[in-house]
Amino acid sequence: MPGLFQQIQAGKLWDFHGGIHPPGRKEQTNQKPIAVLPIPDRLYLPLRQHIGVAGQLLVRVGERVLKGQQLTSAENSMAVPVHAPTSGTVLSITPHTSPHPSALPELTLVLEPDGLDEWRQREPLNFLTCDNMTLLSRIQDSGIAGMGGAGFPTHIKAGLTQPVDYLIINAVECEPYISADDLLMQEAATTIVKGIDILCRLLNPKAVLIGIEDDKPIAAAAMMAACSQREHYYVRLVPTKYPSGGEKQLIQLLTNKEVPNGRRPADIGIVMQNVGTAFAIAQAVLDDHPLLSRIVTVAGDTLNQPQNVLALLGTPVSALLDACGFQSQPQQRVIMGGPMMGFTLPDLSVPVVKTTNCILAPTAQELPAASTEMDCIRCSACADACPASLLPQQLLWYSKAKDSDKLQEYNLADCIECGACAYVCPSEIPLVQYYRVAKADIREQQREALKAEQAKARFETRNARLEQEKQERLQRNQQLAAARQQQQLASGANTAVADALARIKAKQAQAAPAEERSKEQILAERELKKQQAREHQQQKAEQQKAQQQATEQHSEPTEQTATTATTNSKAAAVAAAIARAQAKKAAQAAEQDATEQQLTPAPNTEKSPQAEVSTEADPRKAAIAAAIARAKAKQQAQTEHETGAVPATASTANKPAAGSDVVTAAEDPRKAAVAAALARAKAKKQANAEATEQTAASTPVTPEPDAVVTEDPRKAAITAALARAKARKQADSENS
Ligand code: SF4
Ligand code: SF4
């Protein structure tokens, strides 16, 4: 039994599960040469036209660019640049409808061609003499990505370091209508083989297998002729069956190898490149011609001239259709890609990109729109047609249920979205659409899970770092403490802590008796202060008594007043306080009374019975009036004494002199008593002032009773109460 390689060399082919045989309809275009379109008015160049990331912009709006000039950089390994397909001016860089089933806007550079088609400087390479890195850089810098439809960066697949057994060139253009690769092989087989040479230089495979469907005899012949001088280049014609051009399916067809789930062909020693990609590599390396254009099949019964065209990247679909005599119909659909895997365009301004291989403008009869979806009848036709040996029916259920776990369990990831299942489904269920949505959901969930995992890893790393720092700190502190202890032990001294504790204890021992002593001192001081207060009060009482006696000696009180002043000092004190409090209020009335008495003739100065009754009823007013009268009499007496008119004697005062206040006061014993009380109060004030001066340092200063009474009646009442208390004390002391 020959080995696998011998079987391959012998031209043996294998088969894959499932597959369908839709009508090819390639005759519309595969008999005509490739047409070169005129340069359109505008080119719309999305900055990302492949699987990966977009490069950084290298040009600005308004800048003129040359043909082949790089518009974006390729700093990231997953980035490939885009180039100016012709010379012209950058009009704008703005979001534009993307050539994607989602039709989401993508950042797009709008170029206005100047018609000169002026090239930048070009530097072809000799791939036989330059190193692999130079070749890979050239491939990346030329913006080459898989042109079979996937758009994977070519330099990554071409730069594999692991051993490669087979390099497979995919020329199986299995989808109906599409004949772009067919025409490319017919017209540029030699260049394609040069591209394969470059790939062999990079990958060094054991054999090159070029797979071509058996419905492309001209292309197959051209390729065989071009490869005739190459050892280990094998052109293999595979049966026409959809989807033979699938990566895993073609590998199985040519090598009988199956790519395990979740693995890549490189894992089993196989690298696959599209025939158009090989052509682009040859152009890039040998001519320094970056990827600026591609062959696009423009087909459909609405076109007068369906054909393959060489279109500049960025050419709007409308320009392609116009060049092929497009006759739009009602409910017209325009599909990018083939009828099996393509998608309907939202509008015709969508540009041609690196992965665009077909624009299909069919009539309604030619390619009817999807009819109403019906329920699954569990016929299993989809499972029979699936080239990936999946269970499309189960995948449909779990897609509708959004059960990601089950979808992954049933290997949704292996679905190549070929559409064979939907093609055979009698219920017209758009199965592929369900799978695309489910795949997008799973990708999003995986992205979220990855982000959560990264966040968790960051959190755990941080915790570990903090814990390590804590342990290091602890260890450091322990080492320092041990070093200190050793040092202290070495010097024979006690520890600082023990010293501090001893000092604290000693302080506490001293503090206790001190506190006891201070309490005793405080009690003694209080007793001393109390004694001083008692002495002070006694002294004040004696002074008041002396003043009272002096006042009594100087005045001539009536018998009643003297008795009252002597025996009832309490009443006197009250009267004094009240008199002080009401002095201000009664001053005006007293003045008025006094004025009236002065102005009124003698008989009238004597108080009427009514007035006497009134005075008796209000002793305060009487006291105030008496005080005022006494003050005036005193003033008058002084004046007369100074002028010598009347001697200020008691005998004079006893004379009944009409119009004299003194006489009036002398005749009224109540007034005289009040005057005596006022005099005592004044004397008391004076004595207080003297006492205050003497004991200012030790005794707190009390406010003047008059001021207090004037300002606040409550304080006046308190002061009066104090006065009463003092008078009581004084009376007690006198009694004792
Ligand atoms: S082909 Fe359609 S109807 Fe039949 S089992 Fe599959 S999904 Fe259901
Ligand atoms: S679209 Fe997916 S499930 Fe359907 S036949 Fe193709 S590979 Fe199988």
Atom of ligand 1 nearest to the CA of 385: 1
pLDDT band at 579 (very low <50, low <70, confident <90, very high): low
User: Which residue owns the Cα nearest ligand 1 atom 2?
Assistant: 425
Residue 422: in which H helix or E strand, if any? helix 420-424
CA 322 – CA 167 distance, rounded (Å): 39
Q: Is the pLDDT of residue 209 over 80?
A: yes
- Please provide residue 383's backbone torsions phi and psi, each rounded to the nearest 5 degrees: -65, -35
User: Which residue owns the Cα nearest ligand 2 atom 3?
Assistant: 392
Q: What is the pLDDT of residue 652?
A: 39
Output the CA 341–ligand 1 centroid distance in Å. 19
pLDDT band at 524 (very low <50, low <70, confident <90, very high): confident
Ligand 1 neighbourhood includes 382 CB (under 6 angstroms): yes
CA 433 – CA 425 distance, rounded (Å): 13
Q: What is the pLDDT of residue 370?
A: 77
Average pLDDT for 228-234: 93
pLDDT band at 630 (very low <50, low <70, confident <90, very high): confident
Output the CA 407–ligand 1 centroid distance in Å. 17
Q: What is the pLDDT of residue 553?
A: 63
Which has the closest alpha carbon to 360: 29, 735, 720, 134? 29
Which domains are delineated in the chain? 4-360 (3.40.50.11540), 373-493 (1.10.1060)
Which has the closest alpha carbon to 286: 398, 193, 371, 378? 193
Atom of ligand 1 nearest to the CA of 424: 1
Q: What is the pLDDT of residue 618?
A: 53
Q: What is the pLDDT of residue 26?
A: 94
Average pLDDT for 230-253: 94
Q: What is the pLDDT of residue 678?
A: 77
Output the CA 389–ligand 1 centroid distance in Å. 15
Output the CA 418–ligand 2 centroid distance in Å. 5
Q: Is the pLDDT of residue 233 over 70?
A: yes
Exposed / middle / buried, residue 369 (Cβ in 10 Å: 0-12, 13-18, 19+): exposed
pLDDT band at 312 (very low <50, low <70, confident <90, very high): very high
Mean pLDDT computed over every residue of the chain: 83
Output the CA 414–ligand 2 centroid distance in Å. 8
Site of tokens 């999305």? 46
Ligand 2 neighbourhood includes 727 CB (under 6 angstroms): no
Residue 89: in which H helix or E strand, if any? strand 88-97
Segment 24-60, tens digit of pLDDT: 999 999 999 999 999 999 999 999 988 888 889 999 9
Q: What is the pLDDT of residue 514?
A: 54
User: Which residue owns the Cα nearest ligand 2 atom 8?
Assistant: 386
Q: What is the pLDDT of residue 570?
A: 59
User: Which residue owns the Cα nearest ligand 1 atom 4?
Assistant: 379
Q: Is the pLDDT of residue 232 over 80?
A: yes
Q: Is the pLDDT of residue 559 over 60?
A: no
Atom of ligand 2 nearest to the CA of 243: 6
| Residue with the larger pLDDT of the pair 571 and 650 | 571
CA 564 – CA 609 distance, rounded (Å): 24
Percent of the chain topping pLDDT 90: 58
Output the CA 394–ligand 1 centroid distance in Å. 10
Output the CA 393–ligand 1 centroid distance in Å. 6
Q: What is the pLDDT of residue 102?
A: 81
Ligand 2 neighbourhood includes 247 CB (under 6 angstroms): no
Average pLDDT for 8-21: 94
Cβ(629)–Cβ(670) below 8 Å: no
Segment 158-207, tens digit of pLDDT: 999 899 999 999 999 999 999 999 999 999 999 999 999 999 999 999 99
Segment 442-475, tens digit of pLDDT: 999 999 999 999 999 999 999 999 999 999 999 9
Output the CA 331–ligand 1 centroid distance in Å. 28
| Residue with the larger pLDDT of the pair 704 and 637 | 637
Ligand 2 neighbourhood includes 432 CB (under 6 angstroms): yes
Segment 479-519, tens digit of pLDDT: 999 998 888 888 765 566 777 777 888 887 766 555 555 67
Contacts of residue 437, defined as CB under 8 A and 6 or more positions apart, other chains included, come to: 399
Cβ(397)–Cβ(431) below 8 Å: no
b/e for 309-346, b at 16 or more Cβ within 10 A? bbbbbbbbbbbbbebbebeeeeeebbbbbbbbbbeebe
Q: Is the pLDDT of residue 92 over 70?
A: yes
Q: What is the pLDDT of residue 308?
A: 97
Output the CA 175–ligand 1 centroid distance in Å. 22
Contacts of residue 147, defined as CB under 8 A and 6 or more positions apart, other chains included, come to: 274, 276, 277, 280, 294, 354, 355, 357
Average pLDDT for 714-735: 76
CA 472 – CA 561 distance, rounded (Å): 100
Ligand 1 neighbourhood includes 392 CB (under 6 angstroms): yes
Using alpha carbons only, what angle is made at residue 583 by residues 617 and 601, rounded to the nearest 5 degrees? 65
CA 81 – CA 54 distance, rounded (Å): 7
What sections of 82-151 are H helices per DSSP? 132-141
DSSP string, 232-269: TEEEEEE---BTTTSHHHHHHHHH---PPTT--GGGGT
Segment 386-418, tens digit of pLDDT: 999 999 999 999 999 999 999 999 999 999 999
Q: What is the pLDDT of residue 586?
A: 56
Q: What is the pLDDT of residue 657?
A: 39
Q: What is the pLDDT of residue 45?
A: 96
Ligand 1 neighbourhood includes 374 CB (under 6 angstroms): no
Average pLDDT for 286-296: 96
User: Which residue owns the Cα nearest ligand 1 atom 6?
Assistant: 382
- Is-above-0.75 flag for pTM? no
Atom of ligand 2 nearest to the CA of 417: 1
Ligand 2 neighbourhood includes 419 CB (under 6 angstroms): yes
What is the token pair recorded at 672? 């005289």
Q: What is the pLDDT of residue 721?
A: 78
Ligand 2 neighbourhood includes 392 CB (under 6 angstroms): yes
Q: What is the pLDDT of residue 550?
A: 72
Ligand 1 neighbourhood includes 380 CB (under 6 angstroms): yes
Q: What is the pLDDT of residue 714?
A: 73
Ligand 1 neighbourhood includes 390 CB (under 6 angstroms): no
Segment 115-167, tens digit of pLDDT: 999 999 999 999 999 999 999 999 999 999 998 877 899 999 999 989 999 99
Cβ(205)–Cβ(309) below 8 Å: no
Helices (H) and strands (E) in the chain, counts: 24, 14
Q: What is the pLDDT of residue 471?
A: 95
Ligand 2 neighbourhood includes 438 CB (under 6 angstroms): no
pLDDT band at 644 (very low <50, low <70, confident <90, very high): very low
Q: Is the pLDDT of residue 368 over 50?
A: yes
Nearest ligand for residue 373 CA: 1
Segment 59-88, tens digit of pLDDT: 999 999 999 999 999 888 888 999 999 999
Percent of the chain topping pLDDT 70: 78
Q: What is the pLDDT of residue 701?
A: 40
Ligand 1 neighbourhood includes 21 CB (under 6 angstroms): no
Which has the closest alpha carbon to 360: 297, 279, 291, 310? 297
